[in-house]
Amino acid sequence: MTHIVSRQSVVFILLALTQAMAAPAGATDYSWRGLFVPLNWGNSNNWLPAGVPASGDTITFPCTASRKTINLDGDQTVDTVTFNSPTAYTLNSSADELTVGNLLASWDAEHTLNFAVRLAANSD
């Protein structure tokens, strides 16, 4: 029995595979809310959805956040960090490091990262 596969089907399958490989399974998109003191990265109440971003996750620092100063409380690894705010964010730490695969800014604000940032091809 012969099976004929159209070129359109092959393209669709390749696109689906590419999308499946683009985001790690179980990855979460987090958005900083900055509602609760302490304003620590590890305070799950400051993220939407509630939780703490981890390896493979994407995070956004939006213009709607209540407070735009964040304390990095321990080494962190995420896939993508996006600053989506015309108001500057400040991220502080004395000894911790952020490892990120993609670091993006969609406004012309001068965000300050007061710690080591390691840009990695893949944060996993």
Q: Express each pLDDT in 27-67 by its tens digit.
A: 999 999 999 999 999 999 999 999 999 999 999 999 999 99
Q: What pLDDT is stored for residue 18 in this prediction?
A: 40
> Domain segments of the chain: what residues?
25-119
Closest CA to 34 of 67, 2, 61, 83: 67
Q: Which two tokens stand for residue 40?
A: 């620590």
Q: pTM for the complete prediction?
A: 0.76
For the stretch 81-122, pLDDT in tens is 999 999 999 999 988 999 999 999 998 899 999 999 999 875
Q: What are phi and psi of 11, to 5 degrees?
A: -60, -45
Q: Which two tokens stand for residue 89?
A: 């964010």
Q: What pLDDT is stored for residue 11 in this prediction?
A: 39
For the stretch 64-89, pLDDT in tens is 999 999 999 999 999 999 999 999 99
